[in-house]
Amino acid sequence: MSTQTLLRLMVLAVSALIMSCSGNNEAGGGALSGDAASRVYVAPGEKDEFYNFVSGGFSGQLAVYGLPSGRLFRVIPVFSVDPEKGWGYTEETKPMLMTSHGFVPWDDAHHPDMSQTGGVADGKWVFINGNNTPRIARIDLTDFRTKEIIEIPNAAGNHSSPFSTENSEYVVAGTRFSVPIPQEDVSIQQYSEKFKGALSFVKVDPKSGNMNLDFQLLVPGFDYDLARAGKGPSKDWMFMSCYNSEQANTMKEINASQNDKDFIVAINWKKCAELAAAGKGSMMNVDYAHNVYNDETHSASHTMKKQVRVLTADDIKGALFYMPTPKSPHGCDVDPSGELIVGGGKLATVIPVMSFSKMLKAIEGGKVDKMIAGIPVLNYKECLAGEVQRPGLGPLHTEFDGKGFAYTSFFVSSEIVKWSLKDFKVVDRVPTYYSIGHLCIPGGNSTKPWGKYVIAYNKITKDRYLPTGPELTQSAQLFDISGDKMKLLLDFPTIGEPHYAVACPADMIMKNSKKMYQITENKHPYATHKEADTRVERKGNEVHVYMTSIRSHFAPDNIEGVKVGDKVYWHVTNLEQDWDVPHGFAVIGANNSEALIMPGETCTIVWEPKKAGVYPFYCSDFCSALHQEMQGYVRVSNGGSGQLTWNKR
């Protein structure tokens, strides 16, 4: 036998082995069924069936796609500056990115979660976490803008966040990195004694959506990873996975993988909230930013807050438990009935399914194995509904189709596994290309899944797309789950890293989508409501230009009297009152960005000219046949009286 033949045989044998392990490969490779293209084809001018809000990961933003087409409609700037939209550059939006560390222009956004009413996605807001500088943002789905960002004190790595309770009473923020609380200059070797975890509960106003850091639970210094609120019978509870129960502080990939089981934390948030409201625990001095965007002034405000209520295990006896779960869990997902809690142990060989009712019985019956820092550790078997045996390698995250099935992503074996909630038996599996992280079924985290598709969010694409140098696109894959077998329909590229995503029927959001801002309701302090009021004012070395834009001219468009050393504030109000007619404003040498001004809105860009001369400004967003004519000049002088003149209208 030649070497070549031997090699061929070996390859064949290995692939046969892989085939036998992964069972069904029907949808793999490129072996698509013929109608896949028509299933995702949305004809020109027609609209998608679902909105899909996908985290931008290390881009810090939130991307909006349509399903089933996989078309990208918009990137909503959240935690990172975006010069295209002026986000973080205009005077109005700069306060949104302020933190206790000053202005932070970037973050790592992982998990979008939609607001819910009665356990069902309601299309009002999307919440998303900033992992690096711990924050939660709220995005308003009437105009797809970030309206609020709250920093989380005592946290570091806001990963277990911002998962919402059944009526969005709270969103949660569990810390991935435990730190000394309060922060202090100590040896890292003192991890187990000094480092703590903070689990924060942020209250959401049901009408305005405004967030308020209500209380924090101080817990042992593990790594708190993901969470999901209960629903139905378990609606008062929040479940949160955690790993590193070893409390390792170095080489965690080995040292935090020692224990056979880590934990799902079960928190009766309702009871904790009542105890907090009754004054339990204590107030701790902290510093955290709370930034709110005001729709009437089109401007954000930044406030530093100074205190948070902190509760320890002793303050909330009977409301905080650890449920053991195998091993280094990631996902922690509650089925639509609210009875089953599915763990996703990254290193586990089974998928553990915990029972809420059994957990309550275990609590009642005192089935406690031990105590950790005053927190009862319940007996695993007493809480267990069952285990999915030999499901695959590296289970991560589970969602539900509302038809009695769960879909779990497997990072290591790169597949989605469908299993039955009745008998915990695997019924189907399908490979993903490659290395899936989270997955998403529209409404698949809620009491009412629209179980038509499951979308895989993959970490690696390798050979799936045209190469673009060392850095390749990451991607999502859309699978049809309307039948017994999952069918791959579409690959589509994503921005940054797609961690988690949420999806809901399009009409839920479309019907509320804003077309413009009413100019009559614009209360921006520097708004110009009519062209007759346009003017230029000097306050010392500040020059304030009260400018308007309408197809296709600025008023004023000739300005003289600006001096080198002046700080020019271009307050541009877009007088248009029609849909899809933003104007841009750009001026030569600006050290920030353009302003992109929506109809009825006012935006401010600061410009500090450094040399005398005459400089143009223009509209940077094509607006009409005479868009190229939408331009003007500002004259900058060395010295002079600084007396401002402009063409009056």
Partner 1 sequence: MKYFMLLFTALWLVACSGNNGESAENKSFMEAQQPKKTYGKIQHVDIGEGIDGTMSKAGKEIFDMKCNACHKYDERYVGPALGKVTQRRTPEYVMNMILDTETMIENDDTVKCLMQEFLMKMPNQSVDEKDARNVLEHLRDHAKSAQ
Binding site for partner 1 (CB under 8 A): 516, 518-520, 529-532, 548, 550-553, 555, 575-578, 581, 624-626, 649
Instruction: Considering the complex, state which of residue 369 and residue 578 has its C-beta at the smaller distance from partner 1.
Output: 578
User: SS3 sequence, 373-426?
Assistant: CCEEEECHHHHEEEEEECCCCCEEEEEECCCCEEEEEECCCCEEEEEECCCCCE
Take residue 83 and report the two structure tokens written for it: 């010069």
**CB closer to partner 1 out of 200 and 574:** 574
Which of 455, 497, 416, 405 lies closest to 67, judged by CA? 455
**Minimum distance of partner 1 from residue 533's CB (angstroms):** 9
Q: Which is nearer to partner 1, 538 or 649 (CB)?
A: 649
Q: How far is the CB of 141 from partner 1 (least distance, A)?
A: 21
Q: Please, which residue, 69 or 573, has the CB nearer to partner 1? A: 573
* Alpha carbon distances (Å) from 319 to 153, 237, 372: 22, 9, 14
Looking at the Cβ atoms of 274 and 578, the one nearer to partner 1 is 578
Backbone angles phi, psi at 475, to 5 degrees: -150, 165
DSSP letters for 107-123: --EEEEEEEEETTEEEE
Please provide the distance, in angstroms rounded to a whole number, between the alpha carbons at the two ends of the chain: 92
Minimum distance from CB of 385 to partner 1 (Å)? Answer: 56
**Environment class of 605 (CB within 10 Å of its CB; exposed 0-12, middle 13-18, buried 19+):** buried
Shortest Å distance, C-beta 525 to partner 1 = 18
Give the shortest CB-579-to-partner 1 separation in angstroms.
9
Whose Cβ is closer to partner 1: residue 473's or residue 577's?
577
Q: Which is nearer to partner 1, 384 or 527 (CB)?
A: 527
SS3 648: coil
**Cβ of residue 556: shortest distance to partner 1, in angstroms?**
12
Q: Which is nearer to partner 1, 383 or 550 (CB)?
A: 550
Looking at the Cβ atoms of 186 and 532, the one nearer to partner 1 is 532
State the nearest-atom distance from the C-beta of 598 to partner 1, in Å.
13
Q: How far is the CB of 298 from partner 1 (least distance, A)?
A: 17
Token readout for 226 is: 């993901």
Residue 247 or 577: the one with the smaller Cβ distance to partner 1 is 577
Say how far apart CA 245 and CA 247 lie, in whole Å: 5
In the complex, the smallest distance separating the C-beta of residue 626 from partner 1, rounded to whole angstroms, is: 6
Task: List, as one string, the DSSP characters of 576-629.
Answer: --STT--EEEEETT-SS--EEE-TT-EEEEEE---S-EEEEEE--S--STTGGG
- Buried b / exposed e over 347-369, threshold 16 CB at 10 Å, is bbebbbbbbbebbeebbeeebbe
Which amino acid is present at 605?
Answer: I
Q: What residues contact 596, with CB distance under 8 A and at least 6 apart?
A: 84, 85, 86, 582, 583, 584, 603, 620, 621
Distance CA 400, CA 419 (A): 10
Structure tokens at 574: 């877009």
Smallest gap from Cβ 63 to partner 1, in A, equals 30
Over the range 560-583, which residues count as b (16 or more CB within 10 Å of their CB) and which as e?
A: bbbbeebebbbbbbbbbeeeebbb
Which ranges of 166-295 does DSSP label H, i.e. alpha helix? Answer: 191-194, 252-255, 269-277
- Tell me if 195 sits within 8 A of 236, measured CB to CB: no
Question: Could you tell me which residues are beta bridge partners of residue 64?
Answer: 53, 74
247: left (phi over 0), alpha (psi -120 to 50) or beta: left
Quote the least distance from Cβ 520 to partner 1, whole Å. 7
**Measured from the CB of residue 103, what is the shortest distance to partner 1 in angstroms?**
35
Distance CA 403, CA 386 (A): 19
Query: Least distance in Å: CB of 603 to partner 1?
Result: 17
Shortest separation between residue 93's beta carbon and partner 1, angstroms: 25
Give the count of alpha carbons within 13 A of 375, CB side only.
Answer: 23
Residue closer to partner 1, measured from CB, 485 or 649: 649
Cβ proximity to partner 1: between 228 and 553 the closer is: 553
Q: 305 or 529, CB closer to partner 1?
A: 529
Please count the other Cβ atoms lying within 10 Å of the Cβ belonging to residue 234.
25
Question: Among residues 61, 242, 80, which one has the least CA distance to residue 160?
Answer: 242
Enclosing H/E stretch for 553: strand 553-555
Of the two residues 370 and 648, which places its CB atom closer to partner 1 in the complex? Answer: 648
